[in-house]
Amino acid sequence: MTPDSDIFETRGPLLIRGVRYNDCTVDVVVGDDGLIAAIGENAGRNHEYDHEIDGQGRVFLPGLVNTHTHAAMTLLRGYADDMLLQPWLAERIWPLEAHLTADDVYWGTRLACLEMISSGTVGFNDMYFFMESAARAVDEAGMRAQLAYGFIDLFDDEKREHECRATEELADSVARMANPRISTAVGPHAVYTVSPGGLRWCAEFAADRKLGVHVHLAETETEVADAVRTSGRRPAALLDEAGLLGPRTVAAHGCWLDDAECRLVAARGATVSHNPASNMKLATGRAMPYPVLRQAGARVALGTDGTASNNSLDLFAEMKTAALLQKFAWNDPTVLPAPEALLLAAGNAHVALGWGGGRLEAGAPADLVLVDTRTPCNTPLHSTVSNAVYACTGAAVTTTLCAGRVLMHERVVPGADEVLSGAAKAARALVARAAGTP
């Protein structure tokens, strides 16, 4: 089905007519300001609009948000799997990353954006390098992103200065873009890769510039043991001492958080990004303690991590993996029920990144997706939320809107072929360079 190509260009008001929302059928009016203007039965009658999307046979869901990824690692998808962590990194991933160029990061991020738009994700929280190229890719793709330069000083003063300058340059560069969908986070990689001085600088810079913080936290048992051995304190306490735990902090993984750390994260209003597929694939040895974090009142969101350790960016699949892993790990099938999985992937993530979406109501950003009901995964339709979490994947998404702009309709994303061929070419050239062949 080839849609009216105008739909991708329109900035005027848009009507989604007769779409299923929970057990009702509603109209959704999207204003030219990118916000939901109205939602309700026959809401279309009282509003002007330039374009109309037929919502029949579609379920209406909030657009999903990926709160932890390294988008450009799509170029490494399937390059190395099923290895122990250290040889995987040292022998396969790092040697390839050493040859990455700004152009590679552009193409890898474009590919990631295409994959995310195609699977109902409207925005993401990214950490990598050559982030100016990532910003350009996001700008062109039409998504939202919070972009962090991965700050790694390895406890070296000279490196720290370099990382500070790189962080400042990204913040300045993104500010100059003046794209309301794109912002910067400060990205101290983790307590085992960034010196206490580096962590403090990051906290001060983030406070000074009013930026988010994106950090890895308690991913492995080794990280915790090393922190305790060298500093006498666990990783969350180290982040907190540096001033890095706050309402604008997204801490990825959290597998090895103990109960006190869960309460600390909750008390600071920080968000833990759960990355179940990556944690399982790399065998972190423990699942993020969701029941403890929930009990403590911490905000939890969902992420895929990079595609080298997942190897997909499909948050529908990740919702299911999260629900399954939490039930299995804590031996209780009532843990992380489907509505909570959707909350992690949408509502909580929008709050974490300050985007205001994830609510299907007038005044909220029109960050939303339509999911096909005329598929096996949505047949029967006893529960739209259960089907979204447990039965469907992102492939059931037909239409993706971000800030009121149509990024995909009837599964067509404009420019997809160019992105696929550009990224494939960049990946082949990268492997050839790393192998020393011209």
Residues sharing a CB contact under 8 Å with residue 157, sequence separation 6 or more, in sequence order: 197
User: For tokens 């006498």, what's the residue?
Assistant: 232
Report if residue 393 touches its own copies, rule: CB under 8 A. yes
Q: Which two tokens stand for residue 377?
A: 């995964």
* The one among 179, 337, 362, 434 contacting its own copies by CB under 8 A: 337
Confirm or reject binding of residue 25 to its own copies (CB under 8 A): no
Maximum alpha-carbon separation in the chain: 66
**Contact letters for its own copies, residues 350-379 (x by CB under 8 A):** ------------------------xxxx-x
Q: Is 311 in the site for its own copies (CB under 8 A)?
A: yes
Choose between 82 and 158: whose C-beta lies nearer to its own copies: 82
Least distance from its own copies to the Cβ atom of residue 143, Å: 14
Q: Is 400 in the site for its own copies (CB under 8 A)?
A: no
Run of H or E residues at 253: strand 249-253
Q: How far is the CB of 237 from its own copies (least distance, A)?
A: 26
In the complex with its own copies, the residue whose CB is nearer, 43 or 114, is 114
- We find the least distance from the C-beta atom of residue 358 to its own copies, in angstroms, to be 21
Q: Nearest distance from residue 156's CB to its own copies, in Å?
A: 30
Distance between CA atoms of 196 and 67, rounded to whole angstroms?
25
Check: CB of residue 317 under 8 Å from CB of residue 393.
Answer: yes
Residue from 69, 109, 273, 312 binding its own copies (CB under 8 A): 312
**Residue 30 pairs with which residues in a beta bridge?**
14, 36
260 conformational bin, left if phi > 0, alpha if psi -120 to 50, beta if neither: alpha
Evaluate whether 415 touches 111 at the Cβ level (below 8 Å): no
CA distances from 375 to 57, 207, 262, 305, 371 (A): 10, 48, 40, 29, 10
Q: Which of residues 54-113 bind its own copies (CB under 8 A)?
A: 74-79, 81-85, 88, 111
Q: Which residues contact 328 (CB under 8 A, 6 or more apart)?
A: 287
Exactly one of 220, 271, 273, 321 binds its own copies (CB under 8 A); that residue is 321
Candidate residues 180, 380, 436, 438; the one interacting with its own copies per rule CB under 8 A:
380
Report if residue 300 touches its own copies, rule: CB under 8 A. Answer: no
Contact with its own copies (CB under 8 A): which of 282, 319, 403, 408?
282
- According to the binding rule CB under 8 A, does residue 428 interact with its own copies? yes
Stretch that binds its own copies, among 137-145, 169-177, 346-354, 383-391 (CB under 8 A): 383-391
Residue 24 in the binding site for its own copies (CB under 8 A) = no
Residue by residue, DSSP assigns 178-215 as: T-TTEEEEEEE--TTTS-HHHHHHHHHHHHHHT-EEEE
120-139 residues near its own copies, rule: CB under 8 A:
none
Residue 73 burial (CB count, 10 A): 27
Does the footprint of its own copies cover residue 175 (CB under 8 A)? no
Name the minimum Å distance from CB 236 to its own copies.
Answer: 23
